[in-house]
């Protein structure tokens, strides 16, 4: 398999989930063996940040990378789209701190990338082959990630939040060719109880019911719905089948599929395409990126 890049630049514009600021992100062609590098065009000197696990500095509700005095927040959805389409080398210009959240999935990144041609390069793809079983465990939270040697990249994700609404779910991906259709459209989600906490923490300034699935796993009073509507700048909010908006789930296991999407994006921080089987119970950005760091250490050694 050859390495691939883009024939021409292609852009997306929108609000950032946590910063609440509008930014334009442009995916540009890049030379062989370049990988994925972000460039903050809004900052003096236009510093660059390589999308590598050792540059991860925060994993609170998204993956943040930093280098050369510049940060880029919530990189996982864009990176998952690049991996999902088999693109090895891209220079990513962004005129703000955070990529657009769009609808909370990777669907619109896929659409933007597919507007231009994905072209082969002369160099062969350098696969990251896992030679031994690697684990990441957080026993107190029931988190367990395992990556094992395999001939190709596959993932299985299981989520269980002890919720009466969001029941235990499993999602799997056995061929990256299925990513764009089966995984990319799946939106981010959170629980109703987390919203106020995240607002107080200075997060989700760009969050809305248009870019996230909000799960109400308890009874919600009309007064509380009114307060939430004001907070989220909506005329009214309803709860239907435990979901805090009227959007229908695109798949019965859409939350599990989104966790798989995040995992693909976070594992892109290993710096290449994996040949490995990944099994993940209750994955999250901290666990995902810690696993990616372990893989990076093995590569360096």
pLDDT of 11-29, one tens digit each?
Answer: 999 998 878 899 999 999 9
pLDDT at 217: 74
In this predicted structure, what is the pLDDT of residue 94?
98
Strands (E), the chain: 2-6, 10-15, 22-29, 36-40, 48-50, 56-58, 64-67, 70-72, 90-94, 118-124, 127-129, 134-138, 143-149, 154-159, 169-173, 189-191, 213-215, 273-281
- Judge whether 122 lies within some domain: yes
Is a pLDDT exceeding 60 seen at residue 117? Answer: yes
pLDDT-derived band at 196, boundaries 50, 70, 90: low
Backbone angles phi, psi at 77, to 5 degrees: -70, -45
Average pLDDT of the residues in 147-157: 97
Tell whether the model's pLDDT for residue 10 goes beyond 70.
yes
Give me the pLDDT at residue 223, please. Answer: 84
Considering the domain boundaries, does residue 100 fall inside one? yes
Could you read off the pLDDT of 43-90 as tens digits, one per residue?
999 999 999 999 999 998 899 999 999 999 999 999 999 999 999 999
Q: What is the pLDDT of residue 207?
A: 64
Instruction: Tell whether 166 is covered by a domain.
Output: no
- Which CATH number belongs to the domain containing residue 58 in this structure? 3.30.230.20
Whether residue 97 has pLDDT greater than 60 = yes
DSSP classification of residue 235: S
Statement: residue 225 has pLDDT above 90: no
SS3 label, residue 180? helix
Q: Give 128 or 213, the one with higher predicted confidence.
A: 128
- Which pLDDT score, from 0 to 100, does residue 239 have? 78
Percent of the chain having pLDDT more than 70? 94
287 assigned to some structural domain: no
pLDDT of residue 241: 72
Catalytic residue among 4, 91, 258, 285: 285
12 domain-assigned: yes
Cβ–Cβ < 8 Å for 36, 90: yes
Contact 29, 171 (CB under 8 A): no
Q: CA–CA distance from 85 to each of 89, 111, 190, 201 (Å)?
A: 12, 11, 27, 34
Give CA angle at 112 (109, 116), nearest 5°. Answer: 135
**pLDDT for residue 292 is more than 70:** yes
- Do 287 and 164 form a contact (C-beta atoms < 8 A)? no
pLDDT-wise least confident of 47-61, 184-198, 219-233, 261-275: 219-233
Assign residue 202 a region (left: φ > 0; alpha: ψ between -120 and 50; beta: otherwise). Answer: left
In the chain, what percentage of residues exceed pLDDT 90?
72
CA angle 173/183/233 to nearest 5° reads 150
57 is a domain residue: yes
For residue 115, what are the domain limits?
A: 2-126
Total tally of structural domains belonging to the chain: 1
Task: Quickly count helices (H) and strands (E) in the chain.
Answer: 7, 18
Residue 156 lies in a domain: no
Supply the mean pLDDT for the chain: 91
144 is catalytic: no
**Is 179 within a domain?**
no
């Amino acid at each position: 398999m050859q390495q691939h890049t883009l024939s021409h630049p292609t852009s997306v514009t929108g609000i950032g989930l946590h910063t609440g600021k509008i930014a334009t992100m442009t995916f540009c062609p890049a030379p062989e063996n370049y990988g994925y590098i972000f460039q903050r065009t809004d900052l003096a000197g236009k510093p660059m940040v390589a999308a590598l696990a050792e540059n991860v500095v925060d994993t609170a509700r998204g993956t943040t990378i930093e280098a050369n005095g510049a940060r880029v927040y919530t990189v996982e959805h864009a990176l998952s789209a690049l991996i999902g389409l088999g693109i090895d080398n891209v220079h990513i210009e962004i005129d703000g701190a955070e990529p657009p959240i769009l609808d909370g999935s990777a669907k619109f990144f896929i659409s933007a990338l597919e507007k231009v041609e994905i072209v082969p390069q002369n160099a062969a793809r350098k696969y990251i082959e896992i030679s031994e079983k690697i684990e990441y465990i957080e026993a107190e939270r029931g988190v367990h990630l395992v990556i094992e040697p395999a001939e190709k990249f596959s993932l299985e994700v299981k989520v269980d939040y002890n919720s009466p609404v969001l029941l235990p779910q499993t999602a799997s991906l056995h061929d990256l060719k299925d990513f764009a259709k089966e995984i990319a459209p799946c939106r981010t989600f959170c629980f109703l109880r987390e919203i106020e906490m995240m607002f107080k923490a200075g997060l989700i300034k760009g969050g809305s019911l248009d870019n996230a699935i909000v799960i109400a796993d308890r009874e919600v009073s009309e007064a509380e719905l009114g307060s939430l509507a004001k907070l989220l700048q909506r005329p009214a909010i309803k709860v239907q089948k435990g979901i805090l908006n009227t959007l229908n789930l695109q798949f019965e296991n859409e939350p599990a599929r989104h966790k798989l999407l995040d995992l693909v994006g976070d594992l892109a921080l290993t710096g290449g395409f994996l040949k490995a089987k990944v099994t993940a119970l209750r994955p999250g950005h901290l666990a995902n990126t810690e696993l990616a760091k372990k893989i990076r250490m093995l590569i360096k050694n």
